[in-house]
Structure 1
Amino acid sequence: MDLAAALRAFVRSVERGSMTAAAADLGVSQPAVSKLLRNLEGHVGAKLVERGARALRPTPQGLALYEAAGGALAVIDAAIEGLRSDGGAIEGRLRLHGPACIGERDLHALAAQFQDRHPAVDVELSLDNRPVDLIHENFDLALRMERPTDQRLVMRRIGYSRRILVASPDYLARRGPVASCVELAGRDLIVTDASLRAGALLLRRGKEKIALPVRPKLTTNNARVLLDALTAGRGVGTTQLLLVAQDLAAGRLLRVLPDWEIEPTEFFLVYPSTRYLRPTVRAFVDFVAPALRRVEGIF
């Protein structure tokens, strides 16, 4: 039996909760993974996993082996990649996750710039607004909005993303300018769910803060839907400045109540603490963190 291969199949199966998913990650067939797990259980003389209808879970003995083997394999992989990178080459696959709002315009462009510097790196970039499980879903790195609470993650703070109020010139011409925060409650509001707290907009001007109860006309978690509705003149919206900087410069959108802003969103780069930070991942973190801080709207 190839003990190293069996341990890798076991660790990945536990992390993914599925032999089929582990097989896809490892580039082998599901029966091959199943055979490796059976052989490993025979080798150690203990049942390591419970094969349920929906997910695979480690037994107490399996969990103990996973905690020991997972860290050991990560150190070995990192050592091998470190030797490869001694010659200056950064290579291998890099799996990234980020929110669509910043990923579509900024994160994917930065990943491309990183590949220009390191052509031997293959990037897999997944963009959506859900909080992924980096370990279970096998991501190397994620850009997160709001501070993560998972103790298995290491955080590197990027900064805050400014949130502002905007509307199209057409909407403001039809409905008139917004003179005060109170007037917002009577307007057609287009918001992201991240802008609301218990049905209220959290507005601030310097040290002054207001929680304004509102009933939005449209609430969405999709940046493209938000921008399309705003530029079409459907209402006043809350948005991250980084999303609308070009629209503001071109006059397609205008600031509303420019002295006021929505409570900002905090950005973090996160990666699993259970894995040794591979040189390729470390190089990307060192490259992308300062670049993200230069994005207009992040402070």
Structure 2
Amino acid sequence: MSAMNEIQVLTAFVRALEVGSFSAVGREIGISQSTVSKQIAMLEASLGVQLFARTTRRLNPTPEALQLHEHVRQLLDALETIKSNSRTREAAPQGMLRLTAPTSFGRERIIPLLPEFLGQYPRITVDVVLTDRVVDLIEEGFELAIRAGNLPSSSMIARSLGLIERIVVGTPAYFSKHGTPETPAELVSHNALIYTATATPTRWEFESEHGRQVVEVDGTIRSNDLDSLYDLVLTGAGIAAVPDWLAAADIAAGRLRSVLADYYLIPLSVNIVYSQTRFLTHRARCFIDFTTQALKRSRSSIA
């Protein structure tokens, strides 16, 4: 087998694990499904291990496949970097960029940037997964992730995108019925809708001229989906701490009220992260630089 064929086999393996379908891989790299299947079988025979348990619905990677994937992905990234560096500086970045972002932030702040980004880099395609779950970039085949909140110690390299300012909101009808809190301490008597995709979901920290105040809130509904909680706030089900840009239109229209004007919640940092064990492709670098600059232009909304 030639070196180029070996690279294609390894590429087919990596993408099969990441997308879970031989046919999808075939369409992506321009070969038939049967060819992909044969390449994977040939790789399995060469290694002497089974890499996938085939079912009618999905390919299920074996533990050996998951272990192999990390090393092969690093190799392919290294080859991509070498190829990119060998091109002229004017060479356009290309290929599929896979990234993940929190659902609400991604929908409001990242997705709207894509037309301009792809207009500048027409040879790049983007696969965006919006989820409030913290994904494993290596295992799930992502180059980049956007994350809000304090980052735990890890092998991730982070670049700051700014801060998310948050406010406490509820409907006028809710506050008319339950009273308007004047201090953070009064929040304990309110029904707080808890967003669980943060490090300390029930611990709300405020700053003011009176110093920092910390309150443990509680309520009847918890969820890892911010947009769902926000929809519940609009029904009058309770109060929530949400990004200011998410509630701005509803506050202006009188559907929501922001409270505790003399206090402000500690902002959440927003970072774009990638694994230090992977070579960063040209397309990923372009996206990081573009997004950083684009969000700086809207600094009044995010930071």
User: TM-score, normalised to structure 1's length?
Assistant: 0.80
The one-letter amino acid of 2:230's match is L
Cα-to-partner distance string for 1:248-276 (whole Å, 9 max, x where unaligned): 33433222112223333221101233332
Q: 2:293 aligns with which of 265, 290, 295?
A: 290
SS of residue matched to 1:251: coil
Inter-CA distance 166–251: structure 2 relative to 1 (3 Å threshold): same
For residues 131 and 112 of structure 2, the distance between their equivalents in structure 1, rounded to whole angstroms, comes to: 16
Q: Are the equivalent residues in 1 in contact too, given 2:158–2:272 (CA < 8 A)? A: yes
Unaligned runs of 5+ in 1: none
Whether 2:200 is the aligned partner of 1:197: answer yes
SS of residue matched to 1:58: helix
Q: How does 1:100-249 map to 2 (within 5 A)?
A: 100-149=103-152, 151-194=154-197, 197=200, 199-205=202-208, 208-249=211-252
How far residue 196 of structure 1 moved from its aligned partner, in angstroms, is 7.6
The one-letter amino acid of 1:127's match is L
In structure 2, what is the equivalent of residue 55 of structure 1?
61
How far residue 128 of structure 1 moved from its aligned partner, in angstroms, is 1.2
Q: 2:93 aligns with which of 90, 94, 102?
A: 90
How far residue 36 of structure 1 moved from its aligned partner, in angstroms, is 3.4
How far residue 282 of structure 1 moved from its aligned partner, in angstroms, is 0.9
For residues 206 and 23 of structure 1, the distance between their equivalents in structure 2, rounded to whole angstroms, comes to: 61
**Percentage of pairs with the same residue:** 26
Inter-CA distance 15–147: structure 2 relative to 1 (3 Å threshold): farther
User: TM-score, normalised to structure 2's length?
Assistant: 0.79
Unaligned runs of 5+ in 2: 55-59
For residues 212 and 272 of structure 2, the distance between their equivalents in structure 1, rounded to whole angstroms, comes to: 28
Cα-to-partner distance string for 1:101-135 (whole Å, 9 max, x where unaligned): 11111100112220122223222211111111222
Inter-CA distance 18–91: structure 2 relative to 1 (3 Å threshold): closer
The one-letter amino acid of 1:153's match is M
SS of residue matched to 1:107: helix
Q: Are the equivalent residues in 2 in contact too, given 1:143–1:270 (CA < 8 A)? A: yes
The one-letter amino acid of 2:302's match is I
Whether 2:272 is the aligned partner of 1:269: answer yes
How far residue 100 of structure 1 moved from its aligned partner, in angstroms, is 0.8
Q: Are the equivalent residues in 2 in contact too, given 1:11–1:66 (CA < 8 A)? A: no
Cα-to-partner distance string for 1:76-99 (whole Å, 9 max, x where unaligned): 223334556744533322222100
In structure 2, what is the equivalent of residue 6 of structure 1?
6
- Measured on the aligned residues, the alpha-carbon RMSD in Å equals 3.5
In structure 1, what is the equivalent of residue 78 of structure 2?
75
How far residue 205 of structure 1 moved from its aligned partner, in angstroms, is 2.6
Q: Are the equivalent residues in 2 in contact too, given 1:195–1:201 (CA < 8 A)? A: no
In structure 1, what is the equivalent of residue 57 of structure 2?
none
SS of residue matched to 2:139: coil
How far residue 193 of structure 1 moved from its aligned partner, in angstroms, is 1.9
SS of residue matched to 2:302: coil
Whether 2:261 is the aligned partner of 1:258: answer yes
SS of residue matched to 2:63: strand
For residues 249 and 92 of structure 2, the distance between their equivalents in structure 1, rounded to whole angstroms, comes to: 36
Cα-to-partner distance string for 1:166-205 (whole Å, 9 max, x where unaligned): 1223323343322222322222322312468374433333
Q: Are the equivalent residues in 2 in contact too, given 1:166–1:254 (CA < 8 A)? A: yes
For residues 145 and 55 of structure 1, the distance between their equivalents in structure 2, rounded to whole angstroms, comes to: 30
For residues 207 and 109 of structure 2, the distance between their equivalents in structure 1, rounded to whole angstroms, comes to: 27
Q: Are the equivalent residues in 2 in contact too, given 1:49–1:57 (CA < 8 A)? A: no
Q: Are the equivalent residues in 2 in contact too, given 1:13–1:22 (CA < 8 A)? A: no
